[in-house]
Amino acid sequence: MSTPTVMKLGPVRRSLVQLMQTRCAQTSAATAPEPARMKKFAVYRWDPEKPGDKPKMQTYEVDLNTCGPMVLDALIKIKNEMDPTLTFRRSCREGICGSCSMNIGGSNTLACLCKIDDNLGKATKIYPLPHMYVIKDLVPDMSNFYAQYRSIEPYLKKKDGSDKNIGDKQYLQTTGDRAKLDGLYECILCACCSTSCPSYWWNSDKYLGPAVLMQAYRWMVDSRDDYTSERLFQMEDRFSVYRCHTIMNCTKTCPKGLNPGLAIGEIKKMLAKYNSKEAKQLAQA
């Protein structure tokens, strides 16, 4: 880069110009076009607005070189550039909101945390969460799941009437008691676990499912909550807890690495040990 024009500059300016020229040359060399890496995505589609429409699979091809690494990136790219009618839930794109839960490659997970499989020979299959009523494309009806969560009363309940003076004092808890909540409170209610459970598939009306049961356990085991016996007594029937046959699909599929199967096992242990007669009296008092 030592053209006559450049050589006329003072030494500092010359070296600066030469540096800029070298860097521009490097950048232009780096952005030379790479061969496109086309990956197929087979996505479940169903449109309620089309009369007589049947659910079917639609295949899209995405160039992985111009797409982010996660399946959600691919879905957004498809929606933006190829098919705006593709419908799915999404929000945080970082695995904390639980919106984009779906069945990818046969397992339930969050699309924003699921890396696209680099194998270009195989299509990635994307389905909505299994055995759920489909509102449209990849969007399931979650109302039943939320209603079941509501039914376990997932909030602190005290017996000493202190809710009249809520906020006056902290409810103290030892570090040991707080540690009992680790692995339980992190649940983002994405429903991946419940919809991976065959027992929940067959009995989603009466069996609560791993997600809701883990949250029930979270409140049972919270030292600040006074209604442990009553919460356990609520589970005294054939279906709410006891449809769990320890299949353990839930723990396998949890995208946050939590263990609902363990929580349910602990509930069953507590149900065996607690004083149910006392709880019945308390509940009917």
- Summarize as ranges the residues that interact with another protein (CB under 8 A): 44, 46, 48, 54-55, 103, 105-107, 125, 127-135, 140-141, 143-144, 146-148, 150-151, 153, 196, 198, 201-206, 230, 233-240, 245-249, 251-253, 259, 261-262, 265-266, 268-269, 280, 283-285
CB of 81 to another protein, least distance (A): 26
Backbone region of residue 150 per phi and psi (left: phi > 0; alpha: psi in -120 to 50; beta: other values): alpha
From residue 245, alpha-carbon distances to 163, 190, 199 in Å are 38, 22, 8
- Rounded CA-CA distance 154/220 in Å is 10
Do residues 122 and 106 make contact, with C-beta atoms less than 8 angstroms apart?
Answer: no
Beta carbon nearer to another protein, 215 or 249: 249
What is the rounded distance in angstroms from the CA atom of residue 29 to the CA atom of residue 23? 10
**Residue 140: partners with Cβ closer than 8 Å, 6 or more residues away:** 128, 129, 132, 133, 134, 195
- Which residue, 150 or 158, is less far from another protein as judged by CB? 150
Give the contacts of 59 (CB within 8 A, at least 6 positions apart): 40, 41, 42, 43, 123
Q: How far is the CB of 51 from another protein (least distance, A)?
A: 11
Shortest Å distance, C-beta 257 to another protein: 8
Among residues 29 and 285, whose Cβ is nearest to another protein?
285
Q: Closest separation between CB of residue 224 and another protein, Å?
A: 18
What separation in angstroms does the CA of 231 have from each of 133, 151, 154, 267, 274? 29, 11, 10, 10, 11
Question: 6 vs 134, which CB is nearer to another protein?
Answer: 134
Tell me the closest approach of the beta carbon of residue 174 to another protein, in angstroms: 22
Where is 178: in which H helix or E strand? helix 175-179
- Least Å distance between CB 191 and another protein? 12
Most distant CA pair in the chain, distance: 100
